[in-house]
C-alpha cells in the first residue's frame, strides 16, 4: 500500500480492500460524531450546507414535508441526523457500504430519535432504488472515499439517476486525487 508523504496513513485510493477494512474498523470504534478534529472546519461546513439547503428549499414548489431525500455514505448517522432535522422530509433513505457503520447509525438513530430515516447497506455505485425516486440527494464527504476512480464516476451517475426531474444534488467533497 502506498503511504502519502508525511502522513503515515495508507493511501486508500490504491487499496480497495484496505479501504473497506479501514471504514469497517472506524465504524466499530467511533463515537457518534462527524469525525472532525477541528470544530472550526465543521462549523464552516455546516454553515455552508445549511445555506445551500435553505436556498434549495426556498425555491421549491413542494414543502419540505413532501420531499424524498437520499444520502450517500451515511457512516454512523451524524450527517444523516442533522440533514433530517434540517429538512424534515416525508422520506429519507441513507446508505453506506459498511455494515458496522449501518449498525452504528441504527443505534444512533434510535438514541436520538430520527426513526423515520431508513438505513440500508448498499454501494454508492449501485443504489437499490428506482430511477427518479428522490427530490434531494446528498453526498457529504462520501464519493472522495470511493477508492476506484471508475466507481466514483458510477456513484455520480447513480446520484443523477435517482433524482426526479428538477431534483437537486448537494455534493460536498474534497478530492486531492482522481476525478
Dmax over CA atoms of the chain, in Å, equals: 50
pLDDT given at position 159: 93
Return phi, psi of residue 167, to 5°.
Answer: -75, 170
What CA–CA distance (Å, rounded) separates 148 from 128? 20
Angle at Cα 154 formed by Cα 96 and Cα 119, nearest 5°?
Answer: 20
Instruction: List the end-to-end C-alpha distance of the chain, in Å, as a whole number.
Output: 20
- Residue 28 pLDDT level (bands cut at 50, 70, 90): low
Burial 50-60 (b: 16+ CB within 10 A, else e): eeebeebbeee
Sign of CA dihedral 135, 136, 142, 146: positive
- Bridge-based pairing of strands 68-72 and 134-140 is parallel
Q: What is the pLDDT of residues 124-174, one digit of tens each?
A: 888 999 999 999 999 988 888 787 888 889 999 999 999 999 999 999 876
Q: What is the pLDDT of residues 36-47, one digit of tens each?
A: 556 777 788 889
- Residue 105 pLDDT level (bands cut at 50, 70, 90): very high
Amino acid at each position: 500500500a502506498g503511504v502519502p508523504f508525511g502522513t503515515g496513513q495508507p493511501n486508500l485510493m490504491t487499496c480497495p480492500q484496505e479501504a473497506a477494512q479501514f471504514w469497517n474498523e472506524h465504524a466499530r470504534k467511533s463515537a457518534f460524531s462527524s469525525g472532525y478534529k477541528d470544530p472550526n472546519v465543521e462549523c464552516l461546513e455546516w454553515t455552508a450546507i445549511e445555506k445551500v439547503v435553505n436556498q434549495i428549499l426556498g425555491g421549491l414548489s413542494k414543502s419540505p414535508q413532501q420531499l424524498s431525500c437520499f444520502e450517500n455514505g451515511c457512516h454512523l448517522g451524524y450527517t444523516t441526523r442533522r440533514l433530517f432535522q434540517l429538512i424534515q422530509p416525508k422520506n429519507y433513505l441513507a446508505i453506506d457500504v459498511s455494515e458496522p457503520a449501518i449498525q452504528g447509525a441504527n443505534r444512533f438513530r434510535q438514541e436520538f430519535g430520527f426513526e423515520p430515516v431508513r438505513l440500508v447497506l448498499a454501494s454508492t455505485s449501485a443504489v437499490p432504488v428506482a430511477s427518479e425516486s428522490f427530490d434531494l440527494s446528498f453526498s457529504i464527504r462520501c464519493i472522495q472515499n470511493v477508492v476506484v476512480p471508475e466507481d466514483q464516476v458510477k456513484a455520480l451517475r447513480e446520484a443523477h439517476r435517482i433524482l426526479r426531474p428538477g431534483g437537486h444534488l448537494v455534493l460536498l467533497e474534497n478530492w486531492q486525487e482522481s476525478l
